[in-house]
Amino acid sequence: MPSRVVVTGLGIISPIGTGKDAFWEALLRGESGVRRITRFDPSEFRTQIAAEVIDFNPETYIDKKEARRMDRYTQFAVAATGLALKDAEIAPGTVDPDRVGVVLGCGIGGIETFEEQTRVLVTRGPSRISPFFVPMMIANMGAGYVAIVNGFYGPNSTIVTACASSNQAVGEAFRIIQRGEADVMVTGGTEAGITPVGIAGFCAMKAMSTRNDEPARASRPFDAGRDGFVVGEGAAILILENMERAVARGAHIYAEITGYGQSCDAYHITAPDPEGSGAAKAMERALADAGLTPGEVSYINAHGTSTPFNDKVETLAIKKVFGEFAYRVPVSSTKSMTGHLLGAAGGIEAAACVLSIARGVIPPTINYERPDPECDLDYVPGEARQTEVDVAISNGFGFGGHNATLVFKRYRE
């Protein structure tokens, strides 16, 4: 029998708050983290807004010298892991380090470092490139540094599947514990892509909102007036643990993870399959893995990017899987508040699912003001909804056609 797996810790660095409580309270207030970009001058850009982590000081969490050798995305990962381990009450010496692993999702990696060192190359020549350039840039270094800082010798990897990265990371960490290869897994995602090249690239695709004059209203999933997504940054880390171990040590259990399903659209490099077939398959496979029927789902945390095409296709996919029940299950997109954290999106949205189960509240979709005939489900508009949540699912869909769905359930012995 596969081991049961539970969530015992959460660590969050987000555009709407640091730490699980600040993050959750901001979600329930319907607070937007979208503002005019401050990390560089965005005046010449088509999109000038993003969901930045404003109050982050890496030296609060990391030795100053070490922090200088990390890209911002790695700093986020290490900081969020520290918060998650503290929340789980896992300290050095309390775990067998050979039985603790790390699987993180990251879509872009150290793009800020890449840009900085490219400028050095162009202006000062190749001899002035930093010896830390490559290890700071590569996308696996967040997971590597988390293990180095904490001395974890178990399975360690990074999933890079665009905006499905963190959903798959959590799913693969779940599988590792199920198979008995580790007792504890540090998982989730991290991203720091708010840079001139990153923003310019998405602008060139015309994928982002251009509501520069009203940033807090720019991310509006499922709304008829949506005009593109808003880039966010940050990290969210979940501590997954073998249930028997967690119970034996008296850990606080937020929820149980019971299902994981993935698929590929095999359709287009950026656009989703217009029939929603791949997204539907991921949801169906996750529910089958969990041994659940669609009618047992209490809440869907949608991928819900606020792009015209994604939102209608995801709505269609939900209808394919849930049938008539699709109109009765609450669906919300927390990206309306956090922006789209790209490779870290699945981590922060998994955390929202876990907290919705633990605290009996569904976060809202803000800025949902004009119904779209093709998006006609219950999107929990405007205000959080108090209700018991027994089963929550989280969808993540990425460029390249990658789809992944996670299923979380109220823990019962």
**Structure token pair of residue 276:** 């929603």
Q: Return d(Cα 259, Cα 5) in angstroms, integer.
A: 10
Cα atoms found within 13 Å of the Cα of residue 363, Cβ hemisphere only:
32
C-alpha to C-alpha distance for 270 and 340, rounded to whole angstroms: 15
Tokens 């380090």 locate to: 97
260: nearest Cα among 177, 160, 349, 170: 170
From the list 340, 353, 375, 402, the catalytic residue is 340
Show the tokens assigned to 336: 């309306």
Distance from C-alpha of 278 to C-alpha of 272, rounded to nearest angstrom: 8
Cβ 339 vs Cβ 8: under 8 Å: no
Q: Which of 106, 163, 353, 375 is catalytic?
A: 163
Active site residue 340: yes
Residue 284 neighbours by CB distance under 10 Å: 17
Spatial contact of 5 and 257, defined as CB atoms under 8 Å apart:
yes
The H-assigned helical ranges of 89-221 are: 111-124, 133-137, 141-150, 165-178, 196-205
Read off the amino acid at residue 351: A
Alpha carbons 217 and 231: distance in angstroms, whole number:
14
- Told to judge if 402 belongs to the known catalytic residues of this protein, a careful annotator would answer no
Q: Find out whether 361 and 386 touch, Cβ atoms under 8 Å.
A: yes
Active-site option among 106, 203, 303, 353 = 303
User: In this structure, are residues 169 and 139 in contact, taking their beta carbons and an 8 Å threshold?
Assistant: no
Catalytic residues: 163, 303, 340
